A and B are shown apart, each in its own frame.
Chain A
């Protein structure tokens, strides 16, 4: 168990909607301007300070590729890259990202011009329902970059050595992306092909 009954409680509250009776009256909740780049395009928004990066992308910029699974950092469906690094966009406020460069699944490739990782997921059937897939693919692209950059992992025998690519490394490094359909073995095949291992 990661966080008790967390997810169930949070999902009863729609994004951007004020929790009932929690603001102590009719006061308008604070808003703030924020600007960042999403998939190479400038975005300028004025948002309730509570809006997460995920909700800004989905509800305000209509980039619905990034998914909301748990809204609590437990599933990875919301994974995007910020300044080249993967994070859970559900556990980050939009206003924390002033000036940042954000890449979502929509920025990796298009239906006519798939990113190699997208193409590999299609080829290897790396999904069933597809809900976790945008997060899996963003996470997979970032994972290969992290291995190339020498970021260590829990499954390395020698923590001082450069990490090597292996299925065990992939399983460990992709553990923040849950797939309820259990497409894991095909996901590993897809990433392995792109890694050229």
Chain B
């Protein structure tokens, strides 16, 4: 790990200014992703701004419009266990408890979870080229073993996936990410626009500016319906998704669905949701119409259809 200086801050504005004014600085929340990457020297911040003491970022509150406001520092465990979340936003609890381990969820924060970096094996291997880790160096995954990687929305520069679970549920719920920008002003980013596709700049996972601090994630009013998070992985627990399905299905068979493990961001095609009453294959035919799988990860396409079919069968039951 490279040496770094460390600072604690009391307010969101102070945190944003401290990182914005220092190109080598990064926010530190739970540390479960950042410290992991710092040990491998994939992340090399010269200064860490620990946000754990910031007032008002650690609570879950009712929002004025009947929705929910989740502070950026709320841990995964606290969020998953929240009574309102379990009752009204079950897909979110389901997605969180499908991820990582008990120990990690106790430490992981809402903002840190959204910003976790890819698990592409080549991103983790400093001996190999990776445009995300080292822009312009090439992509070892294109000619490599790409079983875990993206089947859609990828570019010739990067075929990595966004690895997280919680964000797939937030996409289905149409959440909003609230931030404080370096100049002190705030902005609200619709979830669909928060994570990026790799395009020509795979080093940019999302639309945040350097020094822009996430303060909260807000959820709109509850949708009702049945909530599902179906995660398909290589072992029953403590493994990343090969494919995951977050869905909210209404009694009449209409609903919403987003997929994880398939793209550089939570993958949702709203127009395809009209086909939900016709069954899984009708939906995934549209959702994955532009898929560009590799020979190693082609299996994810039928897997996504079957995972959704399982959800729809359960919704009827």
Within 8 A of A (CB), among B85-131: 86-87, 90, 93-94, 97-98, 100-104, 106-107, 119, 121-126
Query: Contact partner of A139 among B40, B102, B126, CB < 8 A?
Result: B102
Chain A positions within 8 Å of B3 at CB level = 18, 22-23, 27, 29-30, 48-50
Assess the A87–B36 pair: CB atoms within 8 A.
Answer: no
- Chain A proximity of B251: nearest CB distance (Å): 18
Query: Contact partner of B81 among A9, A95, A142, A152, CB < 8 A?
Result: A152
Give bound CA distance, A1 to B304, whole Å.
20
B28 in the interface (beta carbon within 8 A): yes
Chain A positions within 8 Å of B101 at CB level = 73, 76, 175-177
A129 in the interface (beta carbon within 8 A): no
A88 in the interface (beta carbon within 8 A): yes
Query: Contact partner of A91 among B2, B6, B32, B238, CB < 8 A?
Result: B32
Tell me the nearest residue of chain B to A16, going by C-beta.
Answer: B1
B240 in the interface (beta carbon within 8 A): yes
Assess the B86–A5 pair: CB atoms within 8 A.
Answer: no
Give bound CA distance, A30 to B1, whole Å.
13
- Chain B proximity of A187: nearest CB distance (Å): 15
- Chain B proximity of A36: nearest CB distance (Å): 14
Give bound CA distance, A98 to B28, whole Å.
15
Within 8 A of B (CB), among A65-100: 71-73, 76, 79, 85-88, 91-93, 95-96, 98
Tell me the nearest residue of chain B to A173, going by C-beta.
Answer: B102
Give bound CA distance, A151 to B98, whole Å.
13
A3 in the interface (beta carbon within 8 A): yes
Assess the B40–A154 pair: CB atoms within 8 A.
Answer: no
Assess the B121–A10 pair: CB atoms within 8 A.
Answer: no
Given contacts A22-B41, A176-B238, contact A151 B81 (CB under 8 A): yes
Query: Contact partner of A159 among B6, B90, B104, CB < 8 A?
Result: B90
Give bound CA distance, A52 to B239, whole Å.
24
Give bound CA distance, A93 to B103, whole Å.
15
Query: Contact partner of B86 among A1, A22, A73, A160, CB < 8 A?
Result: A160
- Chain B proximity of A175: nearest CB distance (Å): 4
Given contacts A49-B4, A86-B103, contact A152 B124 (CB under 8 A): no
Count, chain B residues at interface, CB 8 A:
49
| Contact bitstring A34-64, B, C-beta under 8 A = 1, else 0 | 0000000000000011101000000000000
Chain A: interface size category: 35 or more
Given contacts A30-B4, A30-B5, A175-B238, contact A1 B103 (CB under 8 A): no
A111 in the interface (beta carbon within 8 A): no
Assess the B81–A91 pair: CB atoms within 8 A.
Answer: no
B218 in the interface (beta carbon within 8 A): no
| Contact bitstring B221-238, A, C-beta under 8 A = 1, else 0 | 000000000000000111
Chain A positions within 8 Å of B203 at CB level = none
- Chain A proximity of B6: nearest CB distance (Å): 5
Query: Most chain-A Cβ atoms within 10 A of its Cβ — which of B52, B80, B238?
Result: B238
Extra contacts, 12 of them, besides A96-B28, A151-B80, A176-B102 (Cβ < 8 A), are: A3-B119, A10-B40, A50-B1, A79-B103, A85-B106, A87-B107, A91-B107, A139-B102, A139-B103, A149-B81, A152-B81, A152-B86
Residues of A within 8 A of B (CB): 1-6, 9-10, 13, 18-19, 22-23, 27, 29-30, 32, 48-50, 52, 71-73, 76, 79, 85-88, 91-93, 95-96, 98, 139, 142-143, 146, 149-154, 159-160, 171-177
- Closest A-B pairs by Cβ, 5 of them: A176-B101, A4-B124, A175-B237, A29-B3, A4-B121
Residues of B within 8 A of A (CB): 1-6, 8, 28, 30-32, 35-36, 39-41, 48, 50, 52, 77, 80-81, 86-87, 90, 93-94, 97-98, 100-104, 106-107, 119, 121-126, 148, 236-240
